[in-house]
Amino acid sequence: MRKVIGIIVALAVLLPVSVAAQKGPEQTWKGKISDSMCKDKHAGGEHEGKKMTDADCTRVCVKNGSKYVFVTEGKVYQLANQSSKTIASHAGEEVQLTGHLNADTITATKIVAAAKPAK
């Protein structure tokens, strides 16, 4: 019985450490919130020939079953927290995203609109 309790205690201590190690350190990237269908290409004729902004295109695609993604430097990352209202509010926008990377999936912790270049 003591052996079983010892194993349970050891697992209780090691499991959170293992999960934290898989999550990776918090990082920050600049890129765009898009959708899994269009990724970084939002063609004007994509949606029944209607001209749309990138934000409108992303919203339509997500409404039709696509997932939000983050595109930076030509790489497309999945976003783990799909139901985030913050992600939805920045659909189609250039942002600065902070979060944890695990393989090709980012769990976003903070998203802010990217600074506009000075004119």
pLDDT digits (tens, 9 = 90+) for 51-88: 888 898 899 999 999 999 999 998 999 999 999 999 99
Q: How many domains does the chain have?
A: 1
Residue 78 is assigned to a structural domain of this protein: yes
In a domain, 77, yes or no: yes
The Cα-based distances of 119 to 28, 77, 116 in angstroms read: 25, 31, 9
Residue 10 lies in a domain: no
What's the pTM? 0.74
Establish if 8 belongs to a structural domain: no
Asked if residue 72 is part of any domain, the answer here is yes
Compute the half-sphere exposure of residue 82: CA atoms within 13 Å on the CB side of its CA.
13
**Domain residues for 44?**
25-113
Q: Is residue 18 part of a domain?
A: no
Q: Is 95 a domain residue?
A: yes
CATH of the domain at 33: 2.40.50
